[in-house]
Every structure is written in structure tokens, then in C-alpha cells.
Amino acid sequence: MTLTGSLREYRYHFLLVLVVVAALYWNIVPPMVADWYNDENYSHGFIVPLVAGYFTYIRREELAEALVAPSGAGLAVVLLALAQLTVAWLGTEYFLMRSSLVVLIAGMVLYLFGSAVFRLLFLPVLYLFFMVPLPYILYDAVAFPLKLFVTKVSVKTLQLMGVVVLREGNIIMFPSTTLEVADACSGIRSLVSLLALAVAYACMMTKSPLRRWVIVLSAVPIAICTNALRVIATGVLAQYWGARAAEGFFHEFAGLAVFAVAMVLLVGVGALLKTKDHGEGDGK
């Protein structure tokens, strides 16, 4: 039986499963969506389900004709997800609670529809992990060294430009003012969102696994370098026009401009790899 036939014949069974899943996560998903809205680090969460839906949509013809062969291995994954949910709920660990939904979806697809359907939906389901906010202990572990690195690079660059500046940790000291490199300027905010977009962009741009990895991994230096430029620009304004010139509107505008530049660079990497694809194709 194909997936289309299975969905049609067992539609009420699947509807019941969806109701049970909704009941399990009724108090878990809405707070996660609230985090997307309130925390700028995870505002990309709103587009993650849409991108996953798009990945599913472009596979619609293959999915419709895929043969359904329920797999017992999927039941093990479902039980693992429920165990993860239970342990996380008892320990009030939000990341594990929320990510258990993605594990549960993967297990249900494998158990109800089998490996053929699971292979087609593997990328869309895996992509859903990007919608789950990272645990703060991991976030801080990445953000702190990034802050120090961006601060060091920015101070060295400012000194090469002739700006009188000293550094103490993530604090940049000018003769007339002092600036702090916060988490938002470390690159972690851009990095999380840029990685999510880079994966989607890579999967749309090329079928080569190597080139996909190049695009995704390029998001890391792009996010760090563009945020270093943001700190350098802020430092120049603070040095010559005072701290107020680097705050308020400029600070908000700089954040948007940095992300826009990062996106342009990411697209540029993809375009360069695509050009190489054409070049190799012409050479054959």
C-alpha cells in the first residue's frame, strides 16, 4: 500500500495519534513559541516549521507513491522519545522536553510508515531541531569564548587603525568611554539563525554533500567576522563621536545590517560553488 492509500484508509487512526501527541505537548510547545517571540536569539523558530514543510512539499510526488511497511524499530524510537519526555519533565529540563517532540515524530514516521517514507522525511524532521532553543548552559559555553575572541580581534583591528584602546576581558576601554561586548555582539545570535538558514540554503542549492557542508560550515566564520565588523564600527563611533553615537538606533540598525551582510556572504558562497558546479559540468 502506498502512503496516499494508507493515509486515506487509516485517517481516523492517524487523527487519534495526532490528538494524543497534541495532548502530550499542550503545555510544552506554546512556551517554546513564546521564546521565539520574546528571545531574538530564536526568532528564526517561526520559519523552521515552514522550511521543513517546504522540504516535505518538494518530495510530495515521491511520498505519495512510497510504499508503507511499518517498522518495529520505529516503536523503539517512540519509546525512547517518551522516556526522554518523562525524564525531562521530572527534571524540568526544557531542551530535552521540547526536542523529544522531534524524536517522537521521527519514531512515529518510522513505526507507522516504514523506512522508505522515513528516508524521504528524514531531512524535514531533522531540520525541526533548529526550532528548539538551546539549553542556556550550552549557549553560555559558546557565547563566552566567542565574546572574548570578537573582542580581541576588534581591539587589535582598532589599534591598527590608530585608535587608542585597551581591553579587559570583553570590555573595550577608550580614553573617553567604555564599551562592553555583549552576547548579541559575540556572533552567537547570528550564528544560531544563520546555521538554520545555511542548512536550508545548502539543501536547495546543491545535491553534493561536500558542497552542502561547505555552505553550512561557512556560516560559522561569516557570523563571527561580520559581528567583529559590527564591534569595530561601534568602537570607531564611540571613539570619535562618543558612546551615545554607538547606542540607540545605530545599535539596532547595526544588528540588522550585520545579519543582512552575513546573508549576502552566505549566498555568495553558494553562488561560487554553483559556478564551480557549472564549470565542472562544462569540462566533462
What is the pLDDT averaged over residues 219-229?
A: 86
Residue 238 has pLDDT above 60, yes or no: yes
Given a contact cutoff of 8 angstroms between Cβ atoms, the answer to whether 250 and 241 are in contact is no
* Rounded CA separation 149/163 (Å): 19
Residue 242: pLDDT band (50, 70, 90) is low
Position with higher pLDDT, 269 vs 138? 269
Q: pLDDT tens digits for 64-75?
A: 888 888 888 999
- pLDDT for residue 186 is more than 70: no
Q: Give the pLDDT score at 284.
A: 46
Whole-number average pLDDT of the chain: 84
pLDDT mean over 225-246: 74
How far apart CA 150 and CA 187 sit, in angstroms, is 8
With 60 as the cut, is the pLDDT of residue 277 above it? no
At a CB cut-off of 8 Å and minimum separation 6, what does 226 contact?
A: 187, 190, 258, 259, 261, 262, 265
Q: Is the pLDDT of residue 97 over 90?
A: yes
| Identity of the residue numbered 251 | H
Grid cell in block for residue 220? 560559522
The predicted model gives 230-252 an average pLDDT of 68
Is the model more confident about 116 or about 169? 116
The answer to whether the beta carbons of residues 116 and 66 sit under 8 Å apart is yes
DSSP 3-state of 92: coil
Tell me what percent of the residues of the chain surpass a pLDDT of 70.
88
Residue 280: band (very low, low, confident or very high) from pLDDT cuts 50, 70, 90: low
> Which of 123, 129, 124 shows the shortest CA–CA distance to 103?
129
C-alpha 38/C-alpha 139 separation (Å) is: 16
For residue 255, what pLDDT band results from cuts at 50, 70 and 90? Answer: low
Least confident of 8-12, 183-187, 206-210, 255-259: 183-187
Which residues are CB-neighbours of 180 under 8 A, at least 6 positions away? 170, 171, 172
Report the pLDDT value the prediction gives residue 84, as an integer from 0 to 100: 95
**All three cell numbers of 165:** 584602546
| Cut 0.85: pTM above it | no
Instruction: Encode pLDDT of 40-63 as tens digits.
Output: 778 888 999 999 999 999 998 898
What's the whole-number mean pLDDT along residues 117-135? 91
